[in-house]
Chain A
Amino acid sequence: MPIGDLTPEIAIIVAAVLALLFATFAPRRWQARAALIALAGIAVAAVLLVNQIGTTRFTFSGTWALDGASIWARLMILIATAFCILLAPGWFRTDPRHGEYYTILLLSALGAMAMAGAGDLLELVIAVLLSSVTGYTLAAWHRDWALSVEAGMKYFLMGALANALLVTGVTLVLGLLGTSSYGDLSRLFAGGVDASPLLFAGFALIVIGVAFKLGAVPVHAWLPDITEGAPAPAAAFLTVVPKIGAAIALARLVHLIPPEALGLRPLIAVLAAATMTLGNLAALWQDDVRRLIGWSSVAQAGYLLMAITVLGVSPDALTALLTFGASYAIGNLAAFAVVTHLRGRTALADYAGLARRQPIAAAALVLAFLSLVGIPPTVGFLGKLMLFLTTIQGGYLWLAALAAANTAASLFYYAKVMGIMYFAAPPEEVQLLDRPSGVAVWIGMIAVIGGAIMAGTALDVFQLSTLLPL
């Protein structure tokens, strides 16, 4: 067995186990040091992953894809996870046993990485389940707080349904085509497959199962509850990391099927349209900033689906997917870094006049929001640009126009928050979390601007990436 191909994942598992052991035996005041173990594990995994750059092949009998898409996505997952770890020690300071949090976080990241690398439907199921089970735990971490438990519960119920649909879909496809391996499936489709409605249903169910992790319609309702109720560092993680993995998993699935074969792309286009419109409409009247970010994150999933829609139709679709995924991750994490740094402050009214008391945090939130809208010179602009470019190139002009209209509408709620921070009278005193979260705010701000400046290089390397099976 080519164990060497899995070294980054193994490093994560080892770190997760070490963090757990450490948390079990370490005294309470040392619990936060488990974060260092987790960070070290991520660093090792990242180095091992960088060594894989340039590889394009299946490994482990075709169940694990090593290609540009999975490598970049897994690298993004690791970086995003490390960023979320930066937010955690301050947030969980009062939690006596929070060392275990890092174990769960690493295992959840592992689930996301497995989604990005899955080269087989069964592997995909395992990856989604791993990511989900750990996700529920992260969401409900504050077990004494009703909102957190509610978020975890909703996430779990919706997840149970979505996972069941996923497994049903996989069973259908496996039964109809006799294989679950992507390599075999792609060869079958190349040879021509009878496009029966049942087969379409099978794939559609799988799409919905993965859409759950992406936070897309129709299984999106958990997202705003998570952003409101889950611990803010966990919410940052759950709105970004599983989405990256799920985006690649869905892309790989769509990529399997030639555009003319099953009509899966129009389905995804409809999901994209519904997701972005619903997310934005629901966000419009939110007066809770964390729920607002949650709905905006639903809308962003809709934009992301645009790139998947034109996969195989437009040459730059994968580049757009990776670029937009990275830019969304940066924007959303930067926003959550600010929210966490402000100790999870959530009511819109509590943001009034923030710019006078905490100019840096306010500026960082503005930049993060501008990036999510896609206003230059933020990294989000380049993500959106690539997205519009490929969507129009792929012939989905209506989808691009709808996304543009949605973007204009979304400005309403983002600008509302910006307005209240800058135009309203300032509050008495603003409590901040700690130094690492402050550092995270700075990192987020720099990444939002720096990402745009570095975009040339990023686009070049993304453009070289491939998506297996070829």
Chain B
Amino acid sequence: MSKNIESDNNPFHLKWNFPQRKTYKDYTTSNIHIPMRDGVKIAVTICLPKGIDPEQKLPTLLYQTRYWRAAKLRIPFRWVLKETSIFTPSPALFTKRGYAIVYVDVRGCGASFGSRPYPFSKEEVKDGADIVDWIISQPWSNGNVVSNGISYTATTAEQLAVNNHPAVKAIMPGHGLWDAYTDVAFPGGCFDHAFVQLWSFVGRNLDQNNSKAFKELIPYLWLLMKGVKPIDIDTDQKILEEAKEEHLSNEYVYDLLHDKDFRDDSLPDGATPDEISSFIYQDQFEKSNVPILSWCAWLDSAYIDAHINRFINLKNPHIAIIGAWNHGALYPADPLNPDKPEVTPSPKERITTWIDFFDSILYGEEIKGKTLYYYTMGEEKWNKTQVWPPEGFTRMKWYLSENNTITTKKPENDAGEDNYKVSFTATSGRLNRWWTLLGLPIDYSNREKADKKLLTYTSPPFEEDVEITGHATITLFLRSTHDDGAIFAYLEEIDDNGNIHYFTDGNLRLIHRKISTDTPPYEILIPYHSFKKKDASPMIPGEITEVTFGFRPTSVLIRKGHRLKLAIAGADKDTFRKYPTDGKPTITIARNASYASYIDVPIKKKNNS
């Protein structure tokens, strides 16, 4: 990074370098339609600082969403709150510092016209450029546009850069996908049935302006919001009704994917799930050279894979941050410190850093190079690195051994195996890393009970503090009674009192077990499974086979005296589809001299003296 002064490795303590500017107390809102290149009318809400001079020129924050750009609130809330009150944190934090904000309903959504074949379609991406053209033609615009967002809106912010529009100066994707197949729909090739179905349900209701769907899922939104905010001239909502009619042609990902298995399965228009991804735009991102501040959390679904993959693959100037919170950073999520009462930094502190980043780029100094700030769970400390994985770590193998143990000593016996009859009632719960994609808190405090249905292996107590940071992998030599199945592997630590703390996991559907020798579509740091039809093969019942896959990246400190635990399941019933569909396999895991199953973990021993 350029000349920013850092007091420590906490990215929220960065001292940014930019001049102070005039601040504003309040903001105005207006709601209009903007015509796109093909005539589709896109609804926008424009927030401008109150009291700006007519000749005042402002940078614009662009925020493109599929979750309603603004709300028509219910009474009495509507009487005192603005239509943008649903956003956390308040847009006032940006307008206060002299930014205009343009909130957008992407085509096919909210009060916009048009329809969508799937999320992040090519047309949706192009709309970003049309909207930027409109912004910079406004009398209040200074010609600079930045974009941020969380989750869906992270991807719209990121893909704004695809257009290589010269007015786009910086992007800030928070908790955004990189590869839709592995990050969201099919992590490890296993269909995340729960999220994809719920997300599609929510989307369908949003697009028909039905807030009733929120009552069970996000109750405060149901109580607060009557629907999407119509444009200002649409006082009888007739224009909104016309837009809703067009949304009836929308497609939803559950309908598109629920009968699919492979990365190269076709969607109705001949596209593949890759069309929904960001990685396909790597060349355009790099050509734009737009600076990026990306942020995510260790326990956020497979979005943490997305985050690391974005960091290692893009050459753009880049600040990446990994914290210990849920998807969207409303709740803390550090399983080794489960009693932490609230998320740090606070949303207000976080957003201040985000605005500082934009101010620095627009008014201060450019961002150079790449830096990743990461929080080590259990140590409660921020670290930073220019490369991932960080330097100074060595790989250590722990072998599955007798009596449900793992040890650093390779087995020497010719025999040794464990049978596991798959429990299809096994679950990591509904407050796991996958359900947090709905914004829910994360809670893995039930591992003692959950592990009783799993095959587990525990290490001896550690003789010193050990930091695990990076991607661990698992290699199992196994046979099954069935031709399909899945392995879910959990890494946990056991403290002095016997409390079990989950910290990461990995999973793989067994038909995808082939390690591909093809070049991956982007650089990855774990064994490459293509998830393509040509590489899939059923298991041969009774035949031993090698299965290797990566755990999701982590950073955790295991204290001296604590133990490492590996727990293996064949299902996660509240999240993933059941493999195989019928039957109840027994999986036999070998742990002997010929077939030594193991985990391979990046470690750094800490000096305890």
Are the chains A and B members of one assembly?
no
